[in-house]
Amino acid sequence: MSAHNPGMDADTFEQFHEQLTRYVRERLIPAEEEVIADDAVPAQIIDEMREMGLFGISVPEEYGGAGLNVTQYARVVNTMSYVAPAYRSIFSINVGMFASALKNGATEAQRAEYYPKLVEGKIACFGLTEPGSGSDSAAMQTTATRDPDGNGWVLNGTKRYITNAPHADVALIMARTEKEALPKNAHVSAFLVPMDTPGISTGSPDKKMGQAGSHISDIMLDDVKVPGEALLGGETGKGFRFAMQSLDNGRISVGAAATGYARRALDSAIRYANERKAFGEPIARFQLIQAMLADSEIEIYAAEAMMADVTARADRGENILVKAAAFKVFASEMCGRVVDRVVQVYGGAGYLAEYDAERFFRDARIYRIYEGTTQILQLQIAKHMLREWEAANG
């Protein structure tokens, strides 16, 4: 993260954010039923999102993007996540991990090539997880070997659970460039790979618990030849570091999304509690219902405060690895508790698919898993705490 990122002019951003909020409420919420029924975001809405510049919000202005700073970017993600998660999913890899990897690690030529593609709405995916490895890069099986016919590389392997893979235009693929595991994961490099490159195929989209309209699938790489310029940053051994740095951004995105979706679920519960009557009065007047509503409001506020803090720190150029992880863990776990209470407020209706509460419950579950599970992030946070203690007391 560069220090002191001013982002878009504050007044301009507030106007854009107001317009976006209106778009979410008036256009995206009414289209949710169609998204869920068809398991796809309508092409017309994707085009509208492109026209609004959503696919390039974090791309620097000199490359045609909106140049939002991290605080503004998180607010956009939070607002877009008030609706069905598929809407965020379609552009989130572009503006989160992919744009962040370009910023942190790409050559100038790579930025000049790929930033404008993100702005025009080409869809990106991020290929880290494999059938046998996720956070454990030492177990990564995908390989990149020197192409004997030139200066390029040949990629082989399989990536799993890759968001947007079925319709992505470009992928950032992590692959081993060394057989042996090296310190600081220097055996892993990153490659910018157009998805129409010969040898690349994707599996059929996986059937999921929730998040209808958001698609994940395997990516199979079978002797995929890429030029030398595809190596992110032009150097081997840096890929995993770039990936981890961009995951800070991805974790802020997931935290912001979980917080926005929790707010949607709570708003739904408040409306239902005022409409549903028992013993002759709205259930909203019952104190145990009120306790569930109040606990949810308290926790959402805490997550919103964490989001404001971690994004401000990122914009000041601070190292946010621990705080981004902490925000993601808290927000995703909080969202899980909120949607569970919302089902309870709905009572029997909360278990029926015709009411929103059941969908909120299913959709929210993934937030505690992707971009680092709660448990992996607990380990990461603790490792840094212990390392700092040792440095101070060693």
Q: Which residues carry out catalysis?
A: 371
State the DSSP code for 206: P
Tell the residue number behind the tokens 């190596």, with chain if given: 231
For residue 354, count other CB atoms closer than 10 A to its CB.
7
User: What is the full DSSP assignment across 2-54?
Assistant: -SS---S-HHHHHHHHHHHHHHIIIIITTTHHHHHHHTS--HHHHHHHHHTTG
Among residues 238, 343, 243, the alpha carbon closest in space to that of 296 is found at: 343
State the DSSP code for 381: H
Helices (H) and strands (E) in the chain, counts: 12, 9
**Please, which residues have CB within 8 angstroms of residue 139's CB and are 6 or more apart in sequence?**
130, 132, 133
Report in angstroms the alpha-carbon separations of 357 from 133, 270, 364: 33, 12, 11
Distance CA 255, CA 140 (A): 27
